Structure 1
Amino acid sequence: MVRWILGTAGTGKTSRVLEEAGKAALAGQKVLLLVPEQYSLEMEKAVRRALDVSSALRVEVYSFTRLCDRIFRELGGTARQAPEEAAHYLMMHLALEQLKGSLRRYQKSSRSGAAIAALTRQMEEFRTVGIAPQALRDAKSRLAKDAFAEKIEELLLIYETYDNLLATSFGEQKNQLDYALEQLKGHPIFEGYAVFVDSFKGFMAGEFALLEELMKTASSVTFSLCTDSLFDRSEGYGLFTPSCRTAARLMELARKNGVPVETPVILREPMRFHTLALTRLEENLFRENGKTESESDGIRLTPCRTPYEEMEWVAARISHLVREEGCRYRDIAVIGRDLEAYLQPIHASFADYEIPYFMDERFDVAAQPLTAAVLSAMEAAKSRFHSDDLFTLLKTGLLDFSLEQIGELEQYAYVWDISGARWEEPFLWNPSGFGKMREEDALKLERIESLRQKLMNPLRSLREKIRICSGRELVVALYEYLREAKILEQLKKQDIQEDRAERDSVRGLFDGMMDLWDQYALVLGDQAYALAKHCELMRLTLLTADLGQIPQALDVVTIGTADRIRPNAPRYVFVIGANDGFFPALVSRVGILSEREREQLLCAGLTVSEPFEIRVLEERYFAYTAMTCASDGLFLSWSQESAEGNP
């Protein structure tokens, strides 16, 4: 049985899901609640708040990732280790290196991190939408013999080589959902369950396939969707067209498998909004013939000169809400479409007003001292200890050297022109220059020589191990260097001294680097490379990686982009950067294939991505959800100039 709970924003769809899940659990039925990854923790809390203990124990809350893990645990299987983003970039680099003599358009792409990233995204897009290399080859045969066909020929060659390299290191390339689906077929472990699927905007192909399998075996599958009808009455251009298309696909799967479909429950009464203005905004936003209202209580529009001025105003307003109106920081969300221009203004303004916040941004591995230490140690070994590489390493602050000691070494190297192989020889010359060595000079020389040995002994050992080595040997040698150079000790000291946020940041970076090294060893395996190639590949691995961060406290303002953020029932929302053309964002295609080229592939029988019109509708939907998630107040602001003062 397929059931529906429909309603626009704020009509209580999730509350209705929890209510019906609670009734099923109270009746003794097992319940599976499927929600987006970033919402699973909040949904678990909501289940515990809404249900008694015995009922809550019958409710299993999963994201698709955790559902796959549950299937593997239950059925005894496991997915093969999946390549992370860094591994994909490494594979693409190796594929391009292999094909250098066969490529014209992409011959130099292996030298560019941006080109490697773009090509990797394109290959993964092919894979995500189910386009195998053979399907691309078949489509190419239907294209005219022109420049575009030549481009597709090269992309096909890259795709096949990249795919083969991935298969060699990680086995047949299937994602977790594919493996879980294989395990689930013939093993109805969710037979008799009441399944509820809540808070999704849409589904990927693998997710649809898993939902189809659940439809066949569960006693009921209930979908909650943000729309006021199952059927699209706007001829494909309405606010809820994407939700209606999702519903149509699900109904098609139900009919295909003979699963009955119930008449939908449509929730029409707004439950979220505490002011009439917010209610009217939801009713009118991106729709025609809506109701109007002269009252604007709860909505405020504020133009600002620059992003810095804008964030200063936002921070001041948040401070007022908390200190004067009894609001909690956790009841406030700040939402933008592209936060890049706002990162520094946010950090500066929120620090000035002492506002705690969590921003859903990626952790820039390249900017961290540990990354710089690893790369500069490798570069020093490659250059046979060029002074610039050594002092870059020392100035990361992760070696057990004081600033005064670094200064003494640097001064000695400058006075005696120390670089390269001379770092491996004992220091014998007067630190003060060509004059007669005094007693204090001799003591200083002894101290500097001790510092030289302390710096160079671990580095010389590292160089001997990695001049020519495999990927596995390299990461083992690098870890041993971190230990011998006492960098691990320094990280432990920071762990004790720093505040919680900094401590968790350091731990997250170290754990993330270890994961990246695991991937590096898996990709390169036992194939030996010269140190220069390892420097190039490790730099690519570390500088293209980024890591997510974990919220450090409960009572914080949540900040994020409209396409990713999922605030938990905020009272007040600040929508920043609400400039025309920026929010909703203008849709453009940046990547390997242009919009026209995608249309040519569509004519040749390949659907590479969602049509342009659907992505325009998605941008409107992101703006709609951002502006309708507050219960008490919505603040919209925009900047008339950039941070640099440009209009």
Structure 2
Amino acid sequence: MKNFEIVYGDCGAGKTTEIARRVKSLALNRAEEGLMGFENRIYVLVPDQYTLATEKFFLSLLGSNLMVYVRIYSFKRFCRLILERTEGVFETVLGNVGRKILALESVKEISPSFEFYPNGYKNMRFVNLVTETFRLLKSRGISAETFLKISETENNGKLFDIARSYAVYESLFSGEYFDPDDLYTLASKSILSSGILSETAVFADQFKTFNANEREVLCSLFESGAEVTVSSLGNGGYGANEPMWGVEKNIALLLGKIKKLGGEIKKTVLREQVRFKNDEMRFLAENLFVDNSSVYNNRTENIKLYRASDLFDEVENAAAEISELIRSGYKYSDIAVTARDIDVYTGIIEPVFEEYGIPVFYHRKTPLRQKSPMTFILSVISAVVDGFSEENVLTAYKTGFLNAEENSVALLENYFRKWKYAAASFTRPFVKSPNGFGSDVADSESVEKLKIINNLREYFVEVVSKIKDCGKKNSVKNYAKALYETMTFVNMPDKIAEVADFYKTFEEHALYSEQVRVYDMIIDMLDELVFVCGEREVSLEDFRDVISSAAEESDIAVLPTSVDRVVTGTVAMLPFMSQKAVFILGCAEYSFPREVSEDKLFTDEELLILEEKHGIEIGMTSDRKVNYEKFLFTIASLAASEKCFFSYARKGLASSFESSYIGEIRRLFPLLSVEESPLQSGFQGKEKLIINDRTAFALYSRTKAPELRGLLEGTRYIDFIDRGYSDRQSLSADMAERLFGKNIVLSYSKADKFSECPFSYFIRYGLNIVPERRAEMKAMEFGTLIHKGLEKLLPFAEDKDADLDAAVSDFSEKELEIILSGDSPTETFRENYKNVIKKLRRVLYRFREESLSSDFVTVARELPLNSEEPSACPPVRLPLSDGNYITMTGVIDRVDMFSNHGKNFYRVIDYKTGSKTFSSENIKNGIDMQLLIYLYSVVQREENAVPAGVSYVIANPAVVKLKRGEIGQEAKIKNRESKSGGGLILDDRDVINALDKNNLYSNKPNLDGASKVSAEGFAELFDDVLSSLTNIGEALKNGRIPKSPLVYGKIDGCKYCDYGPFCLNKQEPRGSRVRMSSGKEDNADA
């Protein structure tokens, strides 16, 4: 029997270098002797995530000629190799989905007699915990029989529940397949029985610890006669509170087994630090988390600490530091970026590193659950299990596997957003208008949209029909078959192949390979389900949950497409090899270290009983977890040979405070200075953050800091920034014409939007991005219904003999039928609708009263402004500097006329359901020009026309509070005045008297809340609105769309804007032109 060798050493002691030296020496011997067979090869076993990096390392060290004598494997791949060699063909190894469903079945079988978890099988999270416990028991070499005895000895009901489930789980494995954790036991037996590895040399390197299965394989190799050498962290003298103590305790278990086999253990302890190239890193290695550690009393250059304002700032600092390292001679592959949870920085590292021109490779495995084919599968099954919810239907459509145009899916999504509906009603045709309340479902646009939406609805019902036909409970085989038929029905294989070919065309080989593997993994998963328990009956919900859980644990790894890249990943999974510099992000409390909690299945007390009394470790106690966090931090901190960068952010992590580990670093290095975010430091010394135009522009866009601008003055970067911001505020003439038209057509709402904020106008009307809203009885829908009612019922109001109540009731019933389209209204909806109709009735009676008291006659209702219809009013059409025009269109709610002395006096009225007051200041700022433009259009069409006034009529008046004794005529006056939004009235006695011949208003000089204006005043106001309209036209023609909201008084272009997410860098707001010219404060009240 040969010696068993172990190479001890702390981080940086050169364990891998020593292993490599020995491997090379043996390879040279094999080459001299010509020994190339399977039995004479040199095997290097490493953790799965280290295989690729280790292969590259040894290929570089040995060259291709000597590499033929060496093979790099993980333990699992090595065991498969052994079995293939010795057994030829061996039983099928189950994957995640097979194990999950057997674990679920074992829990369900025992659950009726469970003491602690009677309904645990209904919770997939519990099933996952149980599955993981079974895996741990197997990896520790604990049989169901042993665990049952332990549970009985301890008289612990919880342990007994799990032990009985474990026994059933083991019994479910037939001779046709076996648990992957049994792979190690079978391989160990084959190693001993076959003796084929008795002349081999096996090295195990880079392992933090060995589990029971791995220890069993190493012992079998040693017992069979192979040369076995392992490396291990530690030096044999760590205390129980130090990070390496757990590692040494673990390796002692392996050495104990070797001794029982009668083997001699040869120990080599590497005490010299060979990795670290400077005093600071050597000091850190010798003192981090070590009892009675020293203090480094010099300033540090190679250990840095950065306190960021947020996650972007933290990553930008890392990118800037990396760029400096590259300029100083580093390669990108010399650098690693890590964190306890690197996913926190997803969506930040890639774009920031791209700005700095840094190639990066994420060393991570993506769960199959996150891939679009699996998302589609789960969403269609969920549609059957949980109903045709908005989420299930849209998720399936957005994966791209269903035959539907993007615009059609957008219509369906908008329909969902607008109308709340019960999932059960999805199978019935949609009949409500896609445009919401008050819209005619019979108009051609609505009919076409509904046709598209219903086609998608019918198609989706057809897609899920195969699964639905299986019912809520059926055999696994039938469910798998139905799912496969569904995938085939939507042409999933061909569509995945199309995407894969697309990636291949652009030489994205890693993504091409991933696409091909995804479909194969899904098919393998279904095959395994049928193979393991094809005829077993399960619920569709369990079938879905097992697939979902298994897909979450089935990973897809992506290989790097080039060698020279910065590598990034979580501390626990990142293979640190030959890095010169390491960046550790997220060193905030509760982030690194993570917050420690007890095991979900077993308490600390139960775990300690299993470990201390029975030698079974199936989970970490809270204390052990604390030590493990220290261990990971130590591994990351000492991974680099030259430099270590620590950082954390004040915002974006679990805590804004530095972690206790950073406190330890600062204790060891009292002169270590903390670099602050540029925003805190005034950008002093932060030139390193700017290495090109893109980084300068990005940093300034994010911070808008005057100090940064001062720092950049006189450099080429400031010109680039100014040019970029100038370009951001304008479009090319060609693009402006494509978006807004050659001849610009505006409605009053568009004009208001532009005046409030040009950029908001660009998003809404240039890009046509419209926020969708639920079809509910809210302000907007209330207004639509009121307007529709006024349009249809005003003739009844003006006819004093008409039955107005009957007309309102008839209108109410018909509209309600259109809105509901067969659905049953809720009580809240009924109450809201009733209140709307009540208000409509009150407004109509007011108009009846007004018509009897006025000599003004209504001559037009819903009068359109366009030049195409003979009965329409010609719109305002103004010339622009390029020879084209801007035209103002719209629909006038009502036009009244009073004829006197051969002249026609016109008054324009607009109905408003919200609060509205007339303001000349608004008009001068380009807001609320609607009524004056309408009035101007009306009076321009005939010679004897005179502007008599404009007025808002509030269709949703406030409640009137009367003083004691105010009754009769006084109450009527107050009620009428509450319904006015004000306006303008011509300062002409005949006009004023004609408007109120029955003297209904209390104050003739301020009639109905309207201000008196002379004929000259109207002319000036017309000039103002025409000038504002022309200015808007010129701005749009020239593509000027600055992010400059109008803010004064109650006007705020940002307050209710739907496009805040698009506007990250707005300019200073504009104030009122009136107030600026008069010297008043911009934010004064109106």
Tell me the CA shift for residue 389 of structure 1. 4.7
Tell me the CA shift for residue 37 of structure 1. 2.0
Q: What is the one-letter code of the residue matched to 1:595?
A: D
- 1:620 is matched with 630
Residues of 2 paired with 1:611 and 1:645: CA distance?
24
Are the aligned partners of 1:598 and 1:608 in contact in 2 as well (CA < 8 Å)?
yes
Q: What is the one-letter code of the residue matched to 2:646?
A: L
Alignment counterpart, residue 93 of structure 1, candidates 89, 104, 116: 104
Tell me the CA shift for residue 511 of structure 1. 3.5
Alignment counterpart, residue 154 of structure 1, candidates 150, 156, 161: 161
Instruction: Map residues 245-264 of structure 1 onto 2, 5 A cutoff.
Output: 245-262=249-266, 264=267
Alignment counterpart, residue 150 of structure 2, candidates 118, 121, 139: 139
Are the aligned partners of 2:201 and 2:226 in contact in 1 as well (CA < 8 Å)?
yes
Matched, 1:597 2:597: no
Q: What is the one-letter code of the residue matched to 1:106?
A: Y
Residues of 2 paired with 1:568 and 1:446: CA distance?
60
Q: What is the one-letter code of the residue matched to 2:336?
A: A
Q: Which sections of structure 1, spanning at least 5 residues, go unmatched?
A: none
Q: What is the one-letter code of the residue matched to 1:51?
A: L
- 2:489 is matched with 484
- 2:18 is matched with 16
Summarize the Cα distance change of 1:168–1:593 in structure 2 as closer, same or farther, 3 Å threshold: farther
Q: What is the one-letter code of the residue matched to 2:555?
A: L
Higher Cα radius of gyration: 2
Alignment counterpart, residue 201 of structure 2, candidates 194, 199, 202: 194
Residues of 1 paired with 2:9 and 2:586: CA distance?
28
Matched, 1:163 2:167: no
- 2:756 is matched with none
Are the aligned partners of 1:472 and 1:525 in contact in 2 as well (CA < 8 Å)?
yes
- 1:48 is matched with 59
- CA distances 1:240-284 after superposition (whole Å, capped 9, x unpaired): 43444455444433433333333x343333332232222222222
Residues of 2 paired with 1:530 and 1:261: CA distance?
55
- 2:286 is matched with 283
Summarize the Cα distance change of 1:299–1:74 in structure 2 as closer, same or farther, 3 Å threshold: same
DSSP-derived class of the 1:60 partner: strand
Residues of 1 paired with 2:205 and 2:422: CA distance?
65
Are the aligned partners of 2:188 and 2:216 in contact in 1 as well (CA < 8 Å)?
yes
Matched, 1:550 2:558: yes
Tell me the CA shift for residue 204 of structure 1. 1.2
Q: What is the one-letter code of the residue matched to 1:88?
A: R
Residues of 2 paired with 1:538 and 1:336: CA distance?
30
TM-score by length of 2: 0.52
Alignment counterpart, residue 577 of structure 1, candidates 586, 589, 609: 586
- 2:751 is matched with none
Instruction: Map residues 57-456 of structure 1 onto 2, 5 A cutoff.
Output: 57-143=68-154, 149-166=156-173, 170-171=177-178, 175-218=182-225, 220-228=227-235, 232-234=236-238, 236-262=240-266, 264-287=267-290, 288=292, 292=296, 294-322=298-326, 324-347=327-350, 349-350=352-353, 352-353=355-356, 355-381=358-384, 389-406=392-409
Q: What is the one-letter code of the residue matched to 1:327?
A: Y
Tell me the CA shift for residue 96 of structure 1. 3.4
Are the aligned partners of 1:96 and 1:109 in contact in 2 as well (CA < 8 Å)?
yes
Are the aligned partners of 1:43 and 1:61 in contact in 2 as well (CA < 8 Å)?
yes
Tell me the CA shift for residue 64 of structure 1. 1.1
Residues of 2 paired with 1:412 and 1:240: CA distance?
60
Q: What is the one-letter code of the residue matched to 1:633?
A: K
Summarize the Cα distance change of 1:635–1:354 in structure 2 as closer, same or farther, 3 Å threshold: same
Structure 1 window deviating more from structure 2 (508-517 vs 298-307): it is 508-517
Are the aligned partners of 1:399 and 1:490 in contact in 2 as well (CA < 8 Å)?
no
Aligned residues between the structures: 635
Are the aligned partners of 2:91 and 2:176 in contact in 1 as well (CA < 8 Å)?
no
- CA distances 1:591-630 after superposition (whole Å, capped 9, x unpaired): 2111112233456535334775665544433222211121
Residues of 2 paired with 1:121 and 1:156: CA distance?
13
Tell me the CA shift for residue 458 of structure 1. 4.6
Higher relative CO (Cα under 8 Å, sequence separation at least 6) belongs to 1
Are the aligned partners of 1:32 and 1:62 in contact in 2 as well (CA < 8 Å)?
yes
CA RMSD of aligned residues (A): 3.9
Instruction: Map residues 465-480 of structure 1 onto 2, 5 A cutoff.
Output: 469-480=474-485
Structure 1 window deviating more from structure 2 (182-191 vs 636-645): it is 636-645
Are the aligned partners of 2:353 and 2:359 in contact in 1 as well (CA < 8 Å)?
yes
Are the aligned partners of 1:195 and 1:218 in contact in 2 as well (CA < 8 Å)?
no
Tell me the CA shift for residue 411 of structure 1. 8.5
- CA distances 1:126-147 after superposition (whole Å, capped 9, x unpaired): 3332333332332233336xxx
Residues of 1 paired with 2:451 and 2:297: CA distance?
83
Q: What is the one-letter code of the residue matched to 2:136?
A: E
Q: What is the one-letter code of the residue matched to 1:222?
A: T
- CA distances 1:447-491 after superposition (whole Å, capped 9, x unpaired): 888767765555445544677643233223322222222233332
- 1:522 is matched with 531
Are the aligned partners of 2:94 and 2:180 in contact in 1 as well (CA < 8 Å)?
no
- 2:5 is matched with 3
- CA distances 1:502-535 after superposition (whole Å, capped 9, x unpaired): 5455444434333332333234312244645544
- CA distances 1:356-410 after superposition (whole Å, capped 9, x unpaired): 3333444244444323322232344567877875444323322121023335667
Residues of 2 paired with 1:58 and 1:93: CA distance?
45
TM-score by length of 1: 0.84
Alignment counterpart, residue 493 of structure 1, candidates 491, 498, 506: 498
Residues of 2 paired with 1:584 and 1:445: CA distance?
55
Tell me the CA shift for residue 71 of structure 1. 1.0
Summarize the Cα distance change of 1:235–1:609 in structure 2 as closer, same or farther, 3 Å threshold: same
Residues of 2 paired with 1:610 and 1:408: CA distance?
51
- 1:632 is matched with 642
Alignment counterpart, residue 573 of structure 2, candidates 557, 560, 564: 564
Q: What is the one-letter code of the residue matched to 2:5?
A: R
Summarize the Cα distance change of 1:110–1:57 in structure 2 as closer, same or farther, 3 Å threshold: same
Residues of 2 paired with 1:463 and 1:571: CA distance?
58
Are the aligned partners of 2:280 and 2:303 in contact in 1 as well (CA < 8 Å)?
yes
Summarize the Cα distance change of 1:274–1:112 in structure 2 as closer, same or farther, 3 Å threshold: same
Summarize the Cα distance change of 1:24–1:466 in structure 2 as closer, same or farther, 3 Å threshold: same
Residues of 2 paired with 1:428 and 1:571: CA distance?
66
Structure 1 window deviating more from structure 2 (88-97 vs 183-192): it is 88-97
Residues of 1 paired with 2:431 and 2:249: CA distance?
78
Summarize the Cα distance change of 1:112–1:251 in structure 2 as closer, same or farther, 3 Å threshold: closer
DSSP-derived class of the 1:186 partner: helix
Are the aligned partners of 1:575 and 1:626 in contact in 2 as well (CA < 8 Å)?
yes
Q: What is the one-letter code of the residue matched to 2:494?
A: E
- CA distances 1:84-126 after superposition (whole Å, capped 9, x unpaired): 3343333333333334432353123223232222232233333
Residues of 2 paired with 1:645 and 1:3: CA distance?
45
Structure 1 window deviating more from structure 2 (303-312 vs 556-565): it is 303-312
Residues of 2 paired with 1:430 and 1:200: CA distance?
64
Are the aligned partners of 2:115 and 2:157 in contact in 1 as well (CA < 8 Å)?
no
Tell me the CA shift for residue 333 of structure 1. 0.7
Percent identity over paired residues: 22
